[in-house]
Structure 1
Amino acid sequence: MKKLVLSAAIVLGSFSVNAAVLPAISITQSVIFQDAFTEVAADQIPAAVKSTVEKSFPNTKLEKAYKNDKNEYKLEISSGDKKYTIFTDASGNIIKK
């Protein structure tokens, strides 16, 4: 009888130990920062930026241009029905964002 009570206590005790273990939950939060771009006229874009667009993306049309505080340019260009957004610095180097 003592063995039966002891085994019941061990079995019931193991259930409570397993119940106390919580699964690990991983939470990932992504934050995307975007620099504030303001729209600029096409004549305010440096020649180096225009040259890069013409050489790298032939047969495209500049739709809109934006500039931020870091002197980076966000250019919206189109080729037929397709539209693209590219980023460059003031020297015309393409920036990957």
Structure 2
Amino acid sequence: MKKLILSAAIILGSFSTFAQTSVATKTIVKAQTTEEKYTEIKLEEVPSSVMLAIKTANPEAVIEKAYINEKKEYKLDIKVGDQKSTVYTDATGNLTKK
């Protein structure tokens, strides 16, 4: 009986040596997004290189609205058939991803 009590005391004593207090840490991540501001322009103000790039990519595309930002990048709302889409280009007509 003494061996049983002694064994239980040793086992319970060993559990307490492994017990550790853990401190919960909270990590705060802030995501900052900068939305580029585009201002609407007339279709006549869109450079011919941009218009040519759109017509080359899809001859059936119709540009409905055009926008420009301060970096001289263009946002074009186009329509092909009954599908509408937004395309981004630089000033030379190269398509870009946004």
TM normalised by structure 1 equals: 0.78
Asked whether 1:61 is paired with 2:71, we answer: no
**Partner residue of 1:46?**
47
Q: Give the secondary-structure state (helix, strand or coil) at the position aligned to 1:71.
A: coil
- Cα distance, 1:92 vs. partner? 0.9
The aligned counterpart of 2:88 is 87
| Letter of the structure 2 residue corresponding to residue 2 of structure 1 | L
Structure 1: 4+ residue segments shifted above 2 A? 1-4, 11-14, 20-34
**What do the CA deviations read for 1:30-85 (whole angstroms, capped 9, x no partner)?**
44322110000001101111111111121011111000000000001001211111
Aligned equivalents of 1:42 and 1:33: distance in 2? 26
Unmatched segments (≥5 aa) in structure 2: none
Question: When the two structures are superposed, what TM-score results if normalisation uses the length of structure 2?
Answer: 0.78
Instruction: State the match for 1:3 in structure 2.
Output: 7
Tell me the CA shift for residue 96 of structure 1: 1.5
C-alpha RMSD over aligned residues: 2.6
